Homo-oligomer: A and B are copies of this chain.
Amino acid sequence: MNIGDVAQRAGLPPKTIRYYEDIGLITPLRDTNGYRLFRESDLHKLAFLGRARALGFTIEDCRTLLALYEDNTRASADVKDLAQAHLTKIEDKIAQLQSMRDTLSELVHSCAGDNRPDCPILSDLATGQH
């Protein structure tokens, strides 16, 4: 398979796939013409990576997850720990965004949004007081 086909099937842009090769996540073969030549196993890895990335795992987490996946002697605890740590980070991020949203939503609702210059959003940013 060439990169275009793989990109289609894995749902990843060709650029991303080349990047994953660059950083050593995959190692496709090379055809005589220099084109990358992907095996089923490469496609499989890319799909794995796509799903892990969609869950927000960092590239380094993905590297670890791939290694665990390919290590038949892994302990599921190692995978779970990684996922749990990531879950915690996501929950922290959600909490932070919710706090922003709450403040921002309040500000937006308190602003008339008309032609006049008076604006509680700017006042709040200027003074830190509501």
Interface positions of A (Cβ within 8 A of B): 44, 47-48, 51-52, 54-56, 65, 68-69, 71-77, 79-81, 83-84, 86-87, 90-91, 93-94, 97-98, 100-101, 103-105, 107-108, 111-119, 121-122, 124-126, 128
Q: Could you tell me the distance between the alpha carbons of A68 and B121 in the complex, rounded to whole angstroms?
A: 11
Considering the complex, give the chain B residue whose CB is closest to the CB of A74.
B117
**Residues on the B chain within 8 Å of A55, using CB:** 100, 103-104, 125
Shortest Cβ distance from A73 into B: residue: B117
A91–B116 Cα gap in the complex (Å)? Answer: 28
With a CB–CB cut-off of 8 A, which chain B residues contact A81?
113
A10 to chain B, nearest CB (A): 11
A128 contacts across to B, CB distance below 8 A: 47, 51
A101:B111 contact, CB within 8 angstroms = no
The contact of A111 among B80, B114, B121, by CB within 8 Å, is B80
Chain B hits for A119, CB < 8 A:
68, 74, 76, 79-80
24 contacts between A and B (CB under 8 A): A52-B125, A55-B100, A55-B104, A55-B125, A56-B100, A65-B125, A74-B117, A74-B119, A75-B114, A75-B116, A76-B111, A76-B112, A76-B114, A76-B115, A76-B119, A77-B112, A77-B113, A80-B108, A81-B113, A83-B111, A86-B104, A87-B101, A94-B97, A94-B98
